[in-house]
Amino acid sequence: MPKYVYDFAEGNKDMKDLLGGKGANLAEMTNIGLPVPPGFIITTDACRHYLEQGEEPSDMRDEVTAHLEALEQEMGKKLGQADDPLLVSVRSGAKFSMPGMMETVLNIGLTDRSVQGLAKQAGSDRFAWDSYRRLLQMFGKTVLDIDGDLFEHAIDEAKQAKGTKNDLDLDASDMAKLVEQFKGIVREHSGADFPQDPRVQMDMAVRAVFDSWNADRAVLYRRQERIPADLGTAVNIVTMVFGNLGADSGTGVAFTRDPASGAQGVYGDYLQNAQGEDVVAGIRNTVPLADLEQIDKASYDQLMDIMATLERHYRDLCDIEFTIERGKLWMLQTRVGKRTAGAAFRIATQLIDEGLIDDDEAVTRVTGAQLAQLMFPRFDETADAERLAKGVNASPGAAVGKAVFDSARAAELGNQGEAVILVRRETNPDDLSGMIAAEGVLTSRGGKTSHAAVVARGMGKPCVCGAEELTVDLTKRSFTTPDGTVVDEGDVISIDGSSGDVYKGEVPVVPSPVVQYFEGELAPDSDQADDLVAAVHRIMSHADERRRLGVHANADTSDDAARARRFGAAGIGLTRTEHMFLGDRRKLVEDLVLADSQDARQRALDKLEPLQREDFKGIFAAMDGLPVTVRLIDPPLHEFLPDLTDLTVEVALGEERGQDVSRQRTLLDAVRRLHEQNPMLGLRGVRLGLVIDGLFGMQVKAIAEAAAELRGEGKDPLPEVMIPLVGAVQELEITRDDAARVIADVEKEHGVELGIPIGTMIELPRAALTAGQIAEAAEFFSFGTNDLTQTAWGFSRDDVEGAFFSQYLDRGIFGVSPFETLDRDGVGRLVRIAVEEGRATRPELHLGVCGEHGGDPDSVHFFHEVGLDYVSCSPFSVPVARLEAGRAAVETAGSDSR
């Protein structure tokens, strides 16, 4: 029989699947002797049962009752006891951190009777009524789904009547009046009185936490972070400790290192006389954690010791929530902290030097997505920019966009392709859609641990928080600086999440130093290189040592090839020859299409061949000594001809004006003749080469001639010929034999042995399923996963992505677009079959991938797993693929050793 409830003492940090991250870490801190308020955890199994069946498991209530009774016995008081109430918090806690996306309810157990007992025990009427007010507000909003603004408006009215803007100026009488108002709001908008049975409160709060797993913002966050939808959340029932008992109490959030930069030191925020939600919400501006040493030195010293203990125990940056209740320190949460991309690389190398992790583990502590973030441009520090304000540098990066003051508008404009900066006083979980759509986030309140900061860091978005100089007016949709400058919605601003600066207008950007390092312009040990470049170099060097997968690049020009080589590519996995037929050469393709005899066709090919040869020479020279895989022409010929509508209009106008449009008319006839209902599945690829005699032969000759000429110049070109869209081995055999004859003729003419391999793309399901046969005629396979995805799913990418992909993502049919990350179950299975059957026929068969998936981190891990020899991606993605290939090798070795 499954167990649905665990005491903290029964769990540990490795039970996140069952107890969620928060519960597992509370259990771990309990077991290593840290001061954690007693409590228990309802498992993710219970949540999944509730979400699937619509009710809690039958045994769960009895288990909760047994653990609650044990907690009451330990604390010496009962939940909601009238004279001395036990109060608890009910908190969500999924396996993966989802900050602010699910529900929390504090002070469960307060009622009209127990509030009096709490006041007596605490010696403070104000504290008791404030706690009851908080329960009513959180319960109403999260459990009963009442508009939170109703409660906020009541508070604002109370402060206005008191002539203050500060919550702390409201006294016990004011709080008691708010409690009555809040109970009225609950009654009016829920149709029932606020429950006075503490157990009913707790049970309703637990169900609300379960339900919050599927709240819109939680679903959106999971999709953004690629968190599986079927995990569910645990629920943590924790004895309340209070940071709002006076000046000797407070609450805070701490990091064992700076999550923005990775620097070591004292980082975090503290707020006297407050509960935890006040800090994270950013409603009141906090003081730096270092100030706690002056406020309460004993608690500060104990906290520093605990932070050091946790970092050594978890061997990583830890994010900590704590409360001080009348001088007593309590730990409310810890987790491995979210960090910026730069901090991730710096911290990984710091932990190596401190002996906490080795080089292999350091490689797994960073990701390709983080590396890509570090390669984005940053603001030019020498630019003449008008600074409007300075806030907290909460999440680094340079962002430019139109100021927008609500999330719905930010999402609307962002989805239309507009660059926007979301400006708020503070953000809350309901702002998630706007944060995702925005280039960056700016708030006038909050610090590095506020909601805006934590979520932005997790997304890799630039964020400036706590820009207190700015007066944000959400009604007027503007903000005002101290000197009276007004920025209205739609005005362009620039924010620097690395420095905290906010600028008027668009500030120019300069290349990232990490890109300069990859370009070879910045040596990692030079005076100009900072510690970030050194950390990236160190991690990348070890990833290169450990990876098995080669990393090639997709490049169609010599400039692209040269850049790919600088970025660490070990070859070119895809050179698309059709790009060489564009621009001024279109007329030559038109001549080829219009040729009415074999001689005319050959003349057109003869004109194209030397142009192609020079293109190939540039690429082969740039990659001297490294392989270059050249794909013969793939698209249908009509793509190189004028548009049907444009040409029809041109012919009609020309005839009307009496002009000579004979060529255009002939072209129009050709365009109509070549028109296809579904060109993606029509006359293209190998079919084109078989139908248009001499087309592939011209390209192969250009490849071979370019290689032979470079050999004569003392270079070492290593071209490979790749034949596209093969579906049957017979197609490949005919084309291969023709290509081999052309290569042999060039070798004989130049007196060289070129040894050019001939292979094929696997981009049709039939090719994957008959790979054993095709391997008899191919020296290598390269998986064209873009077309393989289209043909396996029956998608026309250009049509479906705009037509219904957003609905498929919203409904959970896709976790992520199959064109972005490889569909392992379907397309991945075709790749696996082709690998196994191809190598069964030809054990030495060389295997690679040249679709866009070659640069996708998750897909790189799959390609390592199935045994490909290399991945090929855009030049800019080469470092990302190198890192992910190293991570895949380390993780595979680790799982094998276990």
Q: From the candidates 67, 451, 542, 846, which is the catalytic residue?
A: 451
Amino acid at site 611: L
Q: What is the DSSP string of 98-133?
A: -TTTS-EEEEET--TTHHHHHHHHHT-HHHHHHHHH
Specify the DSSP class assigned to residue 142. Answer: I
Q: What is the DSSP string of 630-661?
A: EEPP-S-GGGGSPPHHHHHHHHHHHHHTT---
SS3 track for 820-882: CCCCCCCHHHHHHHHHHHHHHHCCCCEEEECCHHHHCHHHHHHHHHHCCCEEEECHHHHHHHH
Question: What is the C-alpha to C-alpha distance for residues 177 and 187, in angstroms, rounded to an integer?
Answer: 15
Token pair recorded at residue 414: 């962002």
DSSP 3-state of 721: strand
Q: Specify whether 579 is catalytic.
A: no
Q: In what order do the strands lie in the sheet with 287-288?
A: 287-288, 264-272, 250-257, 318-325, 328-336
Cβ-based neighbour number of residue 799 at 10 Å: 10
CA torsion, ordered 200, 204, 207, 213, to nearest 10 deg: -150
CA torsion sign for 105, 106, 109, 112 is: negative
Amino acid at site 415: N
Backbone φ, ψ for residue 289 (5° rounding): -55, -35
Token pair recorded at residue 886: 């190293």
Strands (E), 192-341: 233-239, 250-257, 264-272, 287-288, 318-325, 328-336
Q: From the candidates 850, 853, 861, 864, which is the catalytic residue?
A: 850
Task: Please give the radius of gyration of the chain, using alpha carbons only, rounded to the nearest integer.
Answer: 33
Burial readout 91-103 (b: 16 or more C-beta within 10 A, e: otherwise) = bbbbbebbbbbbb
Question: What is the C-alpha to C-alpha distance for residues 535 and 875, in angstroms, rounded to an integer?
Answer: 22
Question: What is the C-alpha to C-alpha distance for residues 139 and 111, in angstroms, rounded to an integer?
Answer: 13
The C-alpha angle with vertex 835 and arms to 683 and 842, in degrees rounded to 5, equals 95
Question: What is the C-alpha to C-alpha distance for residues 696 and 358, in angstroms, rounded to an integer?
Answer: 52
The C-alpha angle with vertex 660 and arms to 655 and 664, in degrees rounded to 5, equals 80
Question: What is the C-alpha to C-alpha distance for residues 663 and 695, in angstroms, rounded to an integer?
Answer: 22
Q: Specify whether 873 is catalytic.
A: no
Helix axes 857-866, 878-897, angle to 10 degrees: 50
CA torsion, ordered 577, 583, 587, 591, to nearest 10 deg: 10
Q: Scan for tokens 């890509």, then name that residue.
A: 372
DSSP 3-state of 230: coil
Strand partners, 403: 421
Question: What is the C-alpha to C-alpha distance for residues 400 and 411, in angstroms, rounded to an integer?
Answer: 16
Question: What is the C-alpha to C-alpha distance for residues 232 and 443, in angstroms, rounded to an integer?
Answer: 31
Token pair recorded at residue 310: 């946790």
Question: What is the C-alpha to C-alpha distance for residues 465 and 435, in angstroms, rounded to an integer?
Answer: 13
What is the number of residues in the chain?
898
Token pair recorded at residue 708: 């032979």
- Taking the alpha carbons at both ends of the chain, their separation in whole angstroms is 29
Beta strand pairing call for 420-424 and 440-443: parallel
Token pair recorded at residue 263: 């620097």
Beta-carbon contacts of 267 under 8 Å, excluding residues fewer than 6 positions away, are 254, 255, 256, 257, 258, 259, 289, 448
Active site (catalytic) residues? 451, 850
